[in-house]
Structure 1
């Protein structure tokens, strides 16, 4: 177990800060309002005195009052804001977990370099490894729940499920790394980006609209949370097109067993005549399947979403160049959005040897709603958990550096992001992660996902 302190540095200007700030600090707006009020009072006093002699006019200060100092609260000792991170850093998904953590650490390093939250308070990350065990995650949570203002990231849907109940009882907000559609209506969660289910709908919809609608579509899922979301998305596409006049149906949908035989699964896919396969199993299972497809040079188009790490493994790159598409609400590494430019610049300073991957970008992007809530709380002078929870359902939208779509912070059933980016994979001709953007797409039948509410 480790405790990571993100180092502070010099405060930057307000212009610099706006490049990554999720929500402009309200303290500045309050200060300007006070200055206007005090200046008006001074003018009124001069007018009422009836004298034009400035020497006889009582001086009036136009200096704005100091910002309210937030009271001590869990995770805040009046000087430092402490945030928790729980995830698999050493287990089966440890590689992706460490990359996500790299993005999270880089994000808060940049915030600290600009003076901290509200340009006043530095951030300390308390990081705990659950080793891929949701049962251990619950124990880990109990060890840090009193030390943090909120959980800035919990990695993996199973881990979110393991800690969310106790966190609700403790009034603790959680930013999940995963994108289940169910998170949109879940109490105490701060999701961001298009859901896995919508990625499936938009991805297959794009293929029908831009390539072929009469292809033989198939799917591969597994019992993981990501696999279940993929299966739900596949079912929603079929339901949306039923009776639409489009002759659509799956040639095959396979649910993988934990010890599946990749060769046998690929044989099932080819025997069924599949032409387009949504590879909706977890990252490790999908990598095994791609390696098998590549080994046989199987002429099938594969589709993956944001739950699968890119760049693809070396043994699959030649196959991926002609056969793999990505539907995800994430940028490519070379995108010139403010968020990606800040991420690349910060990594050069704090982790120059970090491999550019989609998981690093995902970690960075996941922190925008956390920053929005904390900035507003500091401006209000209240970092208590009740106030943080209130802000999470009332702030509305917020800036994400154009990296990912925000999930609007409001009470009830929140609006959900709809379009995704479509990428082809070209390890030689794309960016450093091998992605080439083909465009943004929203399926005309994407509203079918509302049935999951």
Structure 2
């Protein structure tokens, strides 16, 4: 981190300090207690170690690497202020799951005795594979995923709005803009897994609220490289809107197939289906004309948003991407937990679980709506979605249409 950040960070210290406005705790939270050494934290050394499970190699490595940078930027901030509670610096041990759940299990076994918690697990399948092991170990993780099904586990600290919320909010937005009505056909092009089902559930909910017709979905595997069959099926369904549940490695081939087949619906997808490299690629024009993207914050160069102002300064001269924002928020969520665990005097797995139970709400400096934690059954994911058009001239190719949009028709149950 650059030396000249000290002055800027001091100006924002009050807004950023996790023990102030970013975290609201239960009124009966315990007083500060004395810490003891646990795996991942030696009291004599004073350094807290967390683990990040992500794809350092494999098809999603380029964008996953941006999440790593974003999370590290937040730890740079925390450590520049002295660390958690002003005196315990944080170090990240990063493991490579290659977006593969079997490798996630292997890598976790290698690092679990070196960390107090996982500050990220990339991929629904990896979270699913690790969850029973986390429960057995009494360990905690921040899932790097948007699956609502992970909202109510004592061993998980969900941070982001769900796939369902993003899909539903964007369908509602399109209806409000007069681009979706009872004559429309909405389809899903999703992975054949629970993340895909989450998106399909949101389409069904949207049909109940808005009256459109639901078309037959098309499915694919994360490593698929050819999508002509799926796109042809969607075209045969006469889909006006397609909800796409893929990653950036899938997007160019999906768009190539759509272009070849002259298929031009409105596509809805999350930011992780985008890459900065698309701005100068042959697919940029199609993305600009036909794709809406969901994410957090607003325009990524809008430093009036406190979180973007700080992140921009921390990683300069690198331009902020939405993946950086995602990682930055993971760091914020993890730091909030560690602050409370230190206050309670227990950095063990059960102690960290209790810390989450005692945190009512965490906000994210304008980057997203708040997440509500507290007791497991009371937890509630953010209900906001920032909606973007694709614009090659905009930072990361994202031009904001709505910041923190919430469907006026109401929130879906379990979203």
1:17 aligned partner: 13
For 2:225 and 2:253, the matched residues in 1 are separated by 10
**More divergent stretch after superposition (379-388 vs 320-329):** 379-388
Pick one of 227, 231, 234 that aligns with 2:200.
231
TM-score (norm 2): 0.86
The runs of 5 or more residues in structure 2 that have no matched partner are 23-31
Preserved contact between residue 51 and residue 120 of structure 2 (Cα < 8 Å): yes
Q: Aligned runs of 1:123-272 on 2, under 5 Å?
A: 123-212=90-179, 213=181, 214-238=183-207, 240-241=208-209, 246-256=210-220, 259=224, 261-272=226-237
**More divergent stretch after superposition (249-258 vs 167-176):** 249-258
For 1:399 and 1:413, the matched residues in 2 are separated by 17
Residues 9 and 189 of structure 1: CA distance in aligned 2, closer, same or farther (over 3 Å): farther
1:390 aligned partner: 354
Residues 89 and 338 of structure 1: CA distance in aligned 2, closer, same or farther (over 3 Å): same
Cα displacement (A) at 1:8: 11
Q: Aligned runs of 1:46-57 on 2, under 5 Å?
A: none
Q: Aligned runs of 1:273-352 on 2, under 5 Å?
A: 273-294=238-259, 298-311=263-276, 313=278, 314-336=281-303, 337-348=305-316, 352=317
Cα displacement (A) at 1:177: 0.8
For 1:259 and 1:72, the matched residues in 2 are separated by 46
Cα displacement (A) at 1:125: 0.8
Q: Aligned runs of 1:114-129 on 2, under 5 Å?
A: 114-129=81-96
For 2:175 and 2:347, the matched residues in 1 are separated by 48
Preserved contact between residue 8 and residue 112 of structure 1 (Cα < 8 Å): no
SS at match of 2:387: strand
1:96 aligned partner: 63
2:78 aligned partner: 111
1:421 aligned partner: 386
Residues 410 and 8 of structure 1: CA distance in aligned 2, closer, same or farther (over 3 Å): farther
Q: Which string of whole-angstrom CA distances, capped at 9 and with x for unpartnered residues, describes residues 140-183 of structure 1?
A: 11121111111111111111122221112222110111010011
Cα displacement (A) at 1:418: 1.6
Residues 231 and 408 of structure 1: CA distance in aligned 2, closer, same or farther (over 3 Å): same
Preserved contact between residue 25 and residue 118 of structure 1 (Cα < 8 Å): no
Pick one of 322, 339, 347 that aligns with 1:375.
339
Cα displacement (A) at 1:251: 3.4
Preserved contact between residue 201 and residue 446 of structure 1 (Cα < 8 Å): no
Cα displacement (A) at 1:260: 6.7
Q: Which string of whole-angstrom CA distances, capped at 9 and with x for unpartnered residues, describes residues 222-270 of structure 1?
A: 21443232222223223x33xxxx5421234212356474233333333
The runs of 5 or more residues in structure 1 that have no matched partner are 1-5, 27-66
Q: Which string of whole-angstrom CA distances, capped at 9 and with x for unpartnered residues, describes residues 328-377 of structure 1?
A: 344431233111111111101xxx4x464221211111222211111122
SS at match of 1:415: coil
Cα displacement (A) at 1:189: 0.8
Q: How many residues align?
A: 396
For 1:8 and 1:74, the matched residues in 2 are separated by 32
Residues 417 and 399 of structure 1: CA distance in aligned 2, closer, same or farther (over 3 Å): closer
Residues 300 and 227 of structure 1: CA distance in aligned 2, closer, same or farther (over 3 Å): same
Q: Which string of whole-angstrom CA distances, capped at 9 and with x for unpartnered residues, describes residues 411-440 of structure 1?
A: 114123223112111112x33433233354
SS at match of 1:138: helix
For 1:25 and 1:237, the matched residues in 2 are separated by 35
Preserved contact between residue 49 and residue 114 of structure 2 (Cα < 8 Å): yes
Cα displacement (A) at 1:115: 1.3
